[in-house]
Amino acid sequence: MKIYFCCTDFKAEPWLAALRTALPQAEIEVWAPGAGPADYAVVWAPPQAFLDEQPQIKALFNIGAGVDALTQLKLPATTKLVRLDDAGMSVQMAEYVVHALIRHFREFDIYATDVAGGKWSFRKPRLREDFPVGIMGLGVLGQRVARAVQAFEFPVRGWSRAPKELHGVRCYAGEAQFAEFLAETKVLVCLLPLTEETRGIMNRETLSLLQPGGYVINVARGAHLVEEDLIPLIDSGHLAGAALDVFRQEPLPAGHPFWRHPKITMTPHTAARTLRDESVAQIASKIARLARGESIAGIVDPSKGY
C-alpha cells in the first residue's frame, strides 16, 4: 500500500515517522510532482496538481476537521474525502469557547485593566439567564461545546441543518428557524463548516437579530463573517464585542482594523490544534477499516460540502 503526505503548513518528518510506525506495512512518502500512483493520501490544502496527477487515489485523509480548502478544488470522481472527527480537537474547542464566554461574561478584561492601573473596584454581578449562548453548528465540535457551556449553567441554544434533539439545548434547524434562533441568542458561537450556504452567514442583517449587547465567538472560518460589518455593529453598541480565532485572510494583514479595536480579542487560528498522535491513530484505524470493507466516520458528502 502506498500513501503520500501532501500537507502545506505542516513539517513532514514527524508526521512521516508517526504514520510509518502506525502503518508499518505501508510505503509512505512526501508527494512530489511526477511521483507514481498511490492508494491513499494524508493532506492539508494540497495543490490542484496533486489531485490531477492522482485520480486513482481511494481516499484523501484531511488532517483537520474543516475541508473547505479541498472542496474548492476539483477532486477525482471516485476519491473519498475524509475529515478528522474530533481526534482531540473537541475538548480544545470547548476550552476555547468557555474561556472566551466567561472572560466576557465576568468582565475579566475590565478587571485586568483596573488591576494594571492599581484600581480595586467591583463590577455588578450579571445573570447568566441574560446571556443565552447560541451555537451555530451542532456537529462533533458544536455538541462538545454545548455540553461544556451547559456545565456553567448558561442557557444553550443550537442551530443545525437537520433537526436535532439534545438534552438541555433548545434546538433550531434550517433557514426557516434561523431568525428565531438568533433572536434567542446573546452570545453567538460559530462552529459551522464553510460551504456556499454558510459563507458570510454572520453579517449586518443576521447579527442585528442577536439580543442587544450580543457577543460573537467565531472559531470556524473567517469567511463566515462579513468582516466589514462587525466594527459598525460594535461601535453602535448593538454588539458588546467579539472573540475571533479565524479571519478571511490569515495571517491577519498588518493594518487590519481588528488589530486595534479594544472590544475585539483575537488568537491566530489556534482554537483547536491538530494533534499528530491522535490524528495518525484515527487515520490508521480508518485505513484498516476500509481495507476490511467496513464503514468509517467522517466521509464528506460532496452534495453538502462537509
Cell numbers 506495512 label which residue? 25
Catalytic position from the list 99, 128, 261, 269: 269
* Identity of the residue, 28 or 141, whose beta carbon is nearer to ligand NDP in the bound complex: 141
* Identity of the residue, 65 or 233, whose beta carbon is nearer to ligand OXD in the bound complex: 65
What span, in angstroms and rounded, lies between the C-alpha atoms of 109 and 45? 36
Dihedral sign of CA atoms 180, 182, 183, 186 in order:
positive
221 is known as an active-site residue: yes
CB 306, CB 67: distance < 8 Å: yes
Residues that bind ligand OXD (CB under 6 A): 64-66, 274
What span, in angstroms and rounded, lies between the C-alpha atoms of 72 and 68? 6
Give me the least distance between CB of 233 and ligand OXD, in Å please. 25
In sequence order, which residues have a C-beta less than 8 Å from that of residue 166 and are 6 or more positions away?
A: 138, 143, 146, 158
* Identity of the residue, 159 or 215, whose beta carbon is nearer to ligand NDP in the bound complex: 159
* Identity of the residue, 231 or 281, whose beta carbon is nearer to ligand OXD in the bound complex: 281
Give me the least distance between CB of 41 and ligand NDP, in Å please. 20
What span, in angstroms and rounded, lies between the C-alpha atoms of 40 and 79? 9
Residues that bind ligand NDP (CB under 6 A): 65-66, 89, 137-142, 159-162, 191-195, 197-198, 219-221, 245-246, 269, 271-272, 306
Catalytic position from the list 83, 104, 144, 221: 221
269 is known as an active-site residue: yes
Instruction: Give the residue numbers annotated as catalytic, written as ranges.
Output: 221, 269
